[in-house]
Copies of this chain bind each other. A is one copy, B any other.
Amino acid sequence: MSIQKPSLPKGTRDFGPIQMARRNYIFKIIKETFQLYGYQQLETPAMENLAVLTGKYGDEGDQLLYKILNSGDFLKKVKDPDLREGSTAVMPKVAEKGLRYDLTVPFARYVVMNRHEINFPFKRFQIQPVWRADRPQKGRYREFYQCDADVVGTDSLICETEILLMIRKVFFRLKLTDYNIKINNRKILTGISEVIGEKGKESALCVAIDKLDKIGWGKVQEELLQRGFSRDAINKLEPVINLSGGNLEKISFMKQFLSSSDQGMKGIMEIEEIFQLLEEFGEEEDHIQFDVVLARGLSYYTGAIFEVKVNKVSIGSVSGGGRYDNLTGVFGMEGVSGVGFSFGVDRIYDVLQELNLFPDDHNQSSCAMIGYFDEEGRNYGLKILNGLRSVNIPAEIFPDYAKVKKQFNYADRKGIPFVILVGSDEIKQHKITLKNLKTGEQKLMTFEDAIGTIKAS
């Protein structure tokens, strides 16, 4: 074997101890919140058959799927004419499986395959990595985690309301206070396109107004004109774009505006019901904003749509979702309505880092290390160590004989808060010296008192 300088594939990352502790802090809060609301965990395999994945994410998505080379003689099905046609013709003959691209399609597959065993409405959450052969850039990776919660088999708007509550709960626990949960409804967007006289063009409308934040109303108008919207339609749209005020005011305006569109009215009624349900829960509207121009890219949404933005940070959009009426239709199971949302863990990580919101004890290292000078001290220390662990205090000993300074350096670098020193004096008196590495304080005490001090810290 030759010696290599090892490297990581572009767009992928290792997560070392501190990053893992911070990520676990986020995962734990999200997971506990999902469970508090009755969601149960699902895991699906990293590899899916390409037949399951292909065609679900548009042409661009298909390009971004990672394909797995068939095992063994993968060329055996490839004929000369295929080769002349190039990679696109050869791909299906050399690869049958791919890596999952999101958690939604595998979830739909699971629901269809287990439809007879599932207890509907089925509330599931899933926290797993996904892979996309995208061009890596700041904040965009080829492997990243998604945290999804979806409920399928009901069209009750209680589910939408609970999603709003779950997002607020997670943010509360993460100590994030300056954020908005924007909510809209695809039917409202359909209604708007009808009312402004551009029925059937809601997709183009969505794509254009989705850019409002980035490019402004002037440029969006240009794009709408290019996409064949009339000047008259754009003029009719303008009051919607400029809509301001509280949620009730906006709802009231849109009820007027959409009165001639059945779909639009259905959408606005759904928004209204969500706010009413929020009240039935005994909850306020804090952080929740009805935003008529929220569009979201994904085409499969049919009802409510959500997006969460943290204010005053560089990458603010950290969560989103919506209702879909036919997620499982492509696998032959019609009429299953569902609603779901997703937390972007990598982005939440960056936001917490930027706002300095990670708790101090995030690195989950041992609470105490045994320090010793010689074999007698080490042996005495091993019993102390075992005693700490038996009362559930994570602890360790520097395994090699080394200068005490080296032992302290190790504890310090690992973020271990206490060192228990055992020298001949301590052994003689059946005590230990407890040193607090943060304050520098040290004190001779009994083992029982040391446990008390460590547990209280």
Q: Mark A residues whose CB is within 8 Å of B.
A: 1, 3-9, 12-17, 20-21, 24, 35-38, 40-49, 51-52, 55, 63-64, 66-69, 71-76, 83, 86-87, 90-91, 94-97, 99, 109-110, 112-114, 117, 119, 121, 123-124, 129, 131, 133, 142-143, 151, 154-156, 158-159, 165, 277, 280-283, 329-332, 363-366, 369, 378-379, 382-383, 385-386, 389, 392-400, 410, 413-414
Q: List 11 A-B contacts (CB under 8 A).
A: A4-B51, A6-B113, A6-B331, A20-B43, A41-B364, A46-B99, A67-B68, A74-B91, A121-B400, A154-B400, A282-B382
CA distance A35 to B282 in the complex (A): 41
CA distance A114 to B165 in the complex (A): 41
- Which of B13, B113, B393, B394 contacts A8 (CB under 8 A)? B113
Q: Which residues of B contact A112 (CB under 8 A)?
A: 6
Decide: B331 and A16 in contact? CB cutoff 8 A. no
Decide: A45 and B13 in contact? CB cutoff 8 A. yes
- Which of B99, B119, B414 contacts A119 (CB under 8 A)? B414
Decide: B399 and A158 in contact? CB cutoff 8 A. yes
CA distance A110 to B396 in the complex (A): 23
Decide: A410 and B119 in contact? CB cutoff 8 A. yes
Q: Which residues of B contact A7 (CB under 8 A)?
A: 49, 52, 113
Decide: B37 and A364 in contact? CB cutoff 8 A. no
| A47-B364 in contact given A42-B16, A281-B383 (Cβ < 8 Å) | no
Q: Which residues of B contact A91 (CB under 8 A)?
A: 69, 74
Best-surrounded residue of A52, A64, A369, A393 (most CB of chain B within 10 A): A52
Q: Which residues of B contact A42 (CB under 8 A)?
A: 14-17, 20
Decide: B40 and A331 in contact? CB cutoff 8 A. no
Decide: A40 and B69 in contact? CB cutoff 8 A. no
| A159-B83 in contact given A14-B43, A48-B9 (Cβ < 8 Å) | no
CA distance A72 to B37 in the complex (A): 42
CA distance A131 to B66 in the complex (A): 15
CA distance A110 to B16 in the complex (A): 9
Q: Which residues of B contact A410 (CB under 8 A)?
A: 119, 121
CA distance A399 to B158 in the complex (A): 6
Nearest Cβ distance between residue A94 and chain B, in whole angstroms? 7
CA distance A201 to B228 in the complex (A): 81
Q: Which residues of B contact A5 (CB under 8 A)?
A: 331-332
Decide: A69 and B83 in contact? CB cutoff 8 A. no
CA distance A440 to B121 in the complex (A): 24
Decide: B365 and A38 in contact? CB cutoff 8 A. yes
